[in-house]
Amino acid sequence: MSSSPRISRLGPNGSMETFHLGSFRLPRVWSGLWQLSSSAWGTASLPRIREAMTKYVEARYTAFADHYGSAEIIFGQFRRSLPADQPVFGATKWCVFTNVEPSQELVEAAIQERMERMQINRIDLLQFHWQDYSHKGYLKALEILQGLKTQGWISALGICNFDSIRTDEICTQLGPGVISSNQVQFSLIDTRPLHGMADVCEKHGVQLLCYGTLCGGFLSEVWLNEPMPDRYSNRLTPSQRKYLDMIVGAWGNWQLFQDLLLVLKNIGDSYGLSISNIATRWVLDHSFVGAVIIGTRLGISEHLEDNLRVNSFRLSEVDRAALDAVLNRSNGRRIITTIGDCGGEYR
């Protein structure tokens, strides 16, 4: 895949790879905070969480995303504790799951609530999710959000889990440059963005913020040569249960997944890198991808140094061909027809 002009590739010393999102220049690996929204992923004390966040910022991981529930409060408190000259970027969401008629008052209240929880007077990136496409209220809501962006309430406006048709519709109606990003699932297992979404992104200058890149940790050495786990096992996190269904249901089977892990391991060994590094790099090498959002169980399970190594290399044509040989044996290209386009699994 060719490099996007919005992306600054790494320098000769392996410096952090960055991209432009609106007026921001950001790292291409973000820290996902959705685990802070529930004890189901395991919890650490607030001091340990803040200590871990400090380590991420010191390592130049300065972008945090998916501020559900208490994560907004924790992130806001952390950011206020930093020196004024330390820039930290926060992306949060407004998700609408029931049909409502968006009004100026309703939208303003939703955005005000997020600003209060994060203790800020402007949201860096507001990502909007709308559940029911049959109700066109999402267009009205986004028009109001566009107005709030103009007024300075929001620096950058994005969408979350919208499919190709609706993303094209939204960008066409709102006009050029209004929507900066769409957060969707994208990985070696879930390649749906390649089938339509990529073209929409190129057409409108939208960048994807990708989650599920490591399938909740399944794309790692931990699962190589391991038997398929029981989806109800206490060993699995809520994310892993979701991704296990994707791997052995929509995508293929556990043996084929083991074949993929082995190929990733062989490629990684040739660079002195991990399976996760190779899987992440594969996603980042697509020109329509701005960043990947890697979930972090702050204070419990972190892979800070390993993730930094993603900046140090590029996949070769031989590497991509070896991965394609496995992907061609999977149902990856047909997932879009079985569970729907990007975000279809949530509707």
- Return the percent helix, strand and coil in the chain, to nearest 5: 45, 20, 35
In the chain, pLDDT over 70 holds for what percent of residues?
Answer: 90
Taking all residues of the chain, what is their mean pLDDT, rounded to a whole number?
90
Model pLDDT, residue 10: 46
Q: Would you state the structure tokens that stand for residue 135, as one six-digit string? A: 């109700």
DSSP H or E segment with residue 322? helix 317-327
Q: Strand, coil or helix: what is 347?
A: coil
Please report the DSSP string for 258-288 in residue order.
HHHHHHHHHHHHHHT--HHHHHHHHHHTSTT
- Note the pTM of the prediction, 2 decimals: 0.92
Looking at residue 301, the DSSP 8-state letter turns out to be B
Mean pLDDT of 155-183: 98
| pLDDT tens, position by position, 101-126 | 999 999 999 999 999 999 999 999 99
What are the boundaries of each domain within the chain? 7-215+276-314
| pLDDT tens, position by position, 273-326 | 999 999 999 999 999 999 999 877 564 555 667 777 888 789 999 999 999 999
CATH topology of domain 7-215+276-314: TIM Barrel (3.20.20)
DSSP H or E segment with residue 187? none
